[in-house]
Structure 1
Amino acid sequence: MQRFSIALIAAAQMFIGCDKNDLENDLYIECGTRYYYYGTEKVFLTEISNMGSISFYDILSPEIINEILENHPEVEILSSPYNSRHYTISIDSKNCFETDEIFNSIKKDSRVSNCNKFLMTKESFTFGITDVFICKLKSNTTHDQLMELIKKNEVEILKQDTEIHHYIIRADKKSNGDALEMANTFFESGLFEYSEANLFGLFRTF
């Protein structure tokens, strides 16, 4: 994860001072366990239900964003970097199942690429993911092998530098998983030196 710069988000303040037991009762009900790779080591994460991210296919005006979300009063935009496709949101949700239902409804809009719940490490650091991941091919991996993975998992190459075998890939709502799942799938194929989701908003919650 060290290859992406991680931007701090002002929304971190909403968690500071919260009681951990209360958060566990309210946020982790029916929530899943995720992981990412730090080198070859798996780092495990827990989903939380009341904070997440939305990625759009294009950079949209605030008016259009409000139009997309007007039928979802339980969702509030917290922040977005300037000129970005990615928004941090809060969700008025009792558990992860309810959050998934809200996200499934939002993703019906053709302008929405993907929605993701925020994730927490065992050290209580919280962060989100976007709809992209970055990877670098091993020197002996062929272009055909890469394209087979791309097609199989229904992801899209956004940028590439073939001289250094470096790729930025989008995993949207039609892919076989979100950007974190696809980053892991690509790394576990053995064809890549690294494959990492784009993390943002790293902060301590307790």
Structure 2
Amino acid sequence: MKYLIYIGLASILLISCEDNLQFEKMPCTYLDYYYYRDEPYYLGEMSDEYILIACDQSNNDSSIRDFIKSIDFFDHSFNYEINEITNYPYKYLIAKLIKKCTCEEIAWILDSLKQAPIVVYTHYTTKTNDCSNLIWEPIGKLCVNTYSNIFYVRVKDAGNISDLNNIISETNTTLIEQDRFMSNWFSLSAIKNSKGDALHMANYFYETGLFDACEPDIIKIAIE
């Protein structure tokens, strides 16, 4: 009987906690496509439970976990992994929200998180039934798709990148490097004060009509 009472009390406290949280709203900025071979390519349905957070490599894992614990709208029982990639300057993780949220609520959450100095970028995630890597090996039971802060642009003429430099300046994005083997391709990044995140910027660059192709850096992350 005591066990049942404790469970009931915990449930009431959890519901009360969720009810007391103030989830504000901002205009939904979720994009469900990018341009592939000159056609919109559908990315999928927005996840209403998970978001991506990236922090600079200079932050140790304990500092990142302390930050996540300090945010009331995260599910602190969710077991997440802090991911690192060689030669990539950021650590990233998938955080689970304490409740299913609307796109407008998630837009506000993402914007709020960007104000924290420890956060480099935050993105929506997308639902997926595919939880395998590029060579079809399973990486988990459940995954979400998302994208990094990097996007790729293929210029019409590698010998003249004035249009690329102009749009970079306009959007406050950053040129990372030119591909050594495919000289028409350039890697760029979108940062906090860019005109938009990497997916928005990939689409924006393409829609100028100045470039042959623009694509985001899509990544898949296991959450179970």
TM-score normalised by length of structure 1: 0.70
Shift of 1:97: 2.4
Which deviates more from structure 2 when the two are superposed, residues 100-109 or residues 142-151? 100-109
Cα 1:31–1:47 change in 2 (3 A) is farther
Q: String of CA shifts for 1:10-64, please: whole Å, max 9, x gaps.
A: xxxxxxxxxxxxxxxxxxxx78452112211112333222112112244532012
1:52/1:90 contact within 8 Å kept: yes
- 2:123 and 2:179 mapped to 1: Cα distance? 28
- Call closer, same or farther: CA 1:77–1:145 in 2, change over 3 Å: farther
Task: Identify the residue that residue 13 of structure 2 maps to in structure 1.
Answer: none
The root-mean-square deviation of aligned C-alpha atoms, in Å, is: 2.7
Kindly, what percent of the aligned residue pairs are identical?
A: 22
- SS of equivalent residue, structure 1 residue 79: coil
Contact 1:31 1:46 in 2 (8 A): no
Answer yes or no: is 1:156 the counterpart of 2:163. no
In the alignment, what sits opposite 1:185?
204
Contact 1:53 1:118 survives alignment (8 Å): yes
| CA spacing shift, 1:128–1:155, aligned 2, 3 Å | same
Instruction: Show the counterpart of 1:171.
Output: 190
Query: Quick one: which of 74, 90, 93 aligns to 2:99?
Result: 93
For residue 110 of structure 2, the aligned residue among 100, 103, 119 is 103
Q: 1:197 aligns with which of 201, 212, 216?
A: 216
1:201 maps to a residue whose letter is K
Which aligned pairs between 1:69-80 and structure 2 lie closer than 5 A? 69-75=68-74, 78-80=80-82
Distance apart, 1:93 and its partner CA: 3.2
Checking the alignment, whether the CA contact within 8 Å between 1:58 and 1:111 is kept in structure 2 is no
With structure 2 as the length reference, what TM-score do the two structures score?
0.65
Q: Which runs of 5+ in 1 are unaligned?
A: 1-29
What secondary structure does 1:78 align onto? coil
Q: Deviations over 1:130-180 (max 9, x none)?
A: 111122211277322111100111111223347713322111221111111
1:92-132 Cα shifts (integer Å, max 9, x gaps): 233222222222221111232211111247xx554111111
What is the CA distance between 1:190 and its match in structure 2? Answer: 2.3
Q: Relative to total residues, which structure has the larger strand share, 1 or 2?
A: 1
Q: Are 1:144 and 2:162 an aligned pair?
A: yes
Higher mean Cα deviation, 151-160 or 84-93? Answer: 84-93
For 1:79, give the aligned amino acid: E
Number of residues of Structure 1 aligned to a counterpart in Structure 2: 172
- Gap regions ≥5 residues in structure 2: 1-27, 131-143
CA contact (8 A) 1:79 1:89 kept: no
1:56 aligned partner = 55
- With over 3 angstroms needed to count, the CA separation of the structure-2 counterparts of 1:103 and 1:32, relative to structure 1, is closer
Which structure's relative contact order is higher, taking Cα pairs within 8 Å and 6+ residues apart? 1
State the one-letter code of the partner of 1:82. E
